[in-house]
Amino acid sequence: MGQGAAKREIDKGTRLYGEQKFDAAINEWKSALRRMTKKEKLPDKFNTLNYLCMAYFDTGKYREVIACANQQLEMLNSKTMCNNADFLQEAYFNLARGYEKLSEFKKSISYAKGCIEKEQNNENAKDIMSFATICLAKAYHGLSDFYNAINNFDSVLNKTENNPSLHMRFLVFESLGQLFSKLKDYDTAHLYYDRCLDIILQDAVTLAKYKRRIQCQIALPMLHMGRFNDAMEQCELSMKDAMLRADRPVQARCLFTFAEIHRKRKDFERSFPRYESAYALFVEMGDRLNQVEVLGGMAKCMAALKDFEQAIEINHKANQLAEEIGNKIGILDCNIRLAELYILTGNSFAAHQCEESLSRLTAELELFCGVCGESMGQIPEHLDKLQCGHLIHSKCTPHLARYTWGRKGRKRPCPSCRNRSSGNPVLSR
């Protein structure tokens, strides 16, 4: 009787999850778990924990994702499970994506790689490798390793060319939109988000829950492109749906975007409370990467209000958090703001220290265009992604299209690749 009831609860939870009633689905699956007491039911229990990981991930309960995945690892030590390769791969993937959202990027990379290695010897789980590779790329992005992030995103896209997966392509385009937005190429970010919306139209049933996420994310490039009303409209639509579905990650991003819109409009009385609300949600979820971004917005708000002391204090807090998680682009942004603030307050020594840090960080991040040698990612400008994974200014791309003496029919090699090794890989073969 108990096992039959457990199956009914699992099925009901799956139906509720499909209807985006995440909290109700979680309650059904947790109830089913309590009924699974026999050892022979361990595989069913493992799969139910997988369902819980999905729902916890969607609702921003990332610590619970880790807890469920660790339960899965414990179960794999039993004689019944006996370190089953399929199950071990799934547990590693759950740990990888949970740690990525908690901004523990090195742990995420380790588990994602472990998941990918397991998949290579496993014929029964083809999609997990692609999901894990996307997670790996996002973790590299979190560490501001844009080269490895782009290469892993591209590897997923290359695999989906012969076997198109709308879900995979959606996740990659969304992540590339986030990457280019972080590097202040808002036009390219907007383009990737538009492609995401097109994909959602092709599979509205499976990808429906992602629409609000993209509406929220596309609002930010719209804002920086001067489309304030469009940004507000997209964000309001996103927030309305997120509130209905108890989607805390999207709610937090919407609050941050609302704050950014109000700050750009110089409505600081509306802006700062929304930053505070977004920050509180990200702290509750354990999402430290987004905390860094919100603190940056709060610091800009204080600087605009001429409260330089408070702006410096908030920037230092953001910088410390960025250092803890290894987010070098976050550290770079903090130092840019601090250098300006120290100049305004007459602290030339501290400003000089920040400028030295900027030079070092820009070199470490390889945020120099390999063609012109100028920095990238510090001001809004168009960037191009090369086949090798490096970035250059769009205005410099024609230079690489020209033939060189003795290389007719072949384009110039990527300057960054040439500097890295003597292999001189070319852009197009």
What is the spatial distance between Cα 288 and Cα 318, in angstroms, rounded to a whole number?
10
Could you tell me if residue 102 is inside a domain?
no
In three-state secondary structure terms, 393 is: strand
Could you tell me if residue 239 is inside a domain?
no
Could you tell me if residue 17 is inside a domain?
yes
For the cut 50, the answer to whether the pLDDT of residue 142 exceeds it is yes
Start-to-end C-alpha separation, the chain: 64
For the cut 60, the answer to whether the pLDDT of residue 295 exceeds it is yes
What's the pLDDT at 36? 87
Give the Å distances, CA to CA, from 257 to 22, 101, 321, 357: 24, 19, 21, 29
- Across 174-202, average pLDDT: 97
Could you tell me if residue 356 is inside a domain?
no
Instruction: Provide the CATH number for the domain around residue 76.
Output: 1.25.40.10
What's the pLDDT at 410? 63
Place of tokens 């523990």: 104
Q: Which region holds residue 389: left if phi is over 0, alpha if psi is between -120 and 50, else beta? A: left
Could you tell me if residue 62 is inside a domain?
yes
Last residue of a domain, one of 68, 83, 98: 83
What's the pLDDT at 86? 85
> Exposed, middle or buried by CB within 10 Å (0-12, 13-18, 19+), for 421?
exposed
What is the spatial distance between Cα 95 and Cα 265, in angstroms, rounded to a whole number?
41
Check if the beta carbon of residue 291 is closer than 8 Å to that of residue 321.
Answer: yes
Check if the beta carbon of residue 164 is closer than 8 Å to that of residue 187.
Answer: no
Q: 293: which residues sit within 8 A by CB, 6+ positions away?
A: 256, 330
Could you tell me if residue 354 is inside a domain?
no
List the structure tokens of 384: 């191009």
DSSP 248-315: HHHHHHHHHHHHHHHHHTT-HHHHHHHHHHHHHHHHHHT-HHHHHHHHHHHHHHHHHTT-HHHHHHHH
Last residue of a domain, one of 46, 68, 83: 83
Residue 429: pLDDT band with limits 50, 70, 90: very low
For the cut 70, the answer to whether the pLDDT of residue 304 exceeds it is yes
List the structure tokens of 358: 């900027």
For the cut 60, the answer to whether the pLDDT of residue 408 exceeds it is no
The structural domain count of the chain equals 2
- Across 229-252, average pLDDT: 97
For the cut 50, the answer to whether the pLDDT of residue 20 exceeds it is yes
Could you tell me if residue 410 is inside a domain?
yes
Q: What is the mean pLDDT of the chain?
A: 91
Could you tell me if residue 21 is inside a domain?
yes
List the structure tokens of 404: 């060189």
Last residue of a domain, one of 27, 53, 83: 83
| Residue 389 structural domain | 383-420
What's the pLDDT at 381? 94
Q: 405: which residues sit within 8 A by CB, 6+ positions away?
A: none
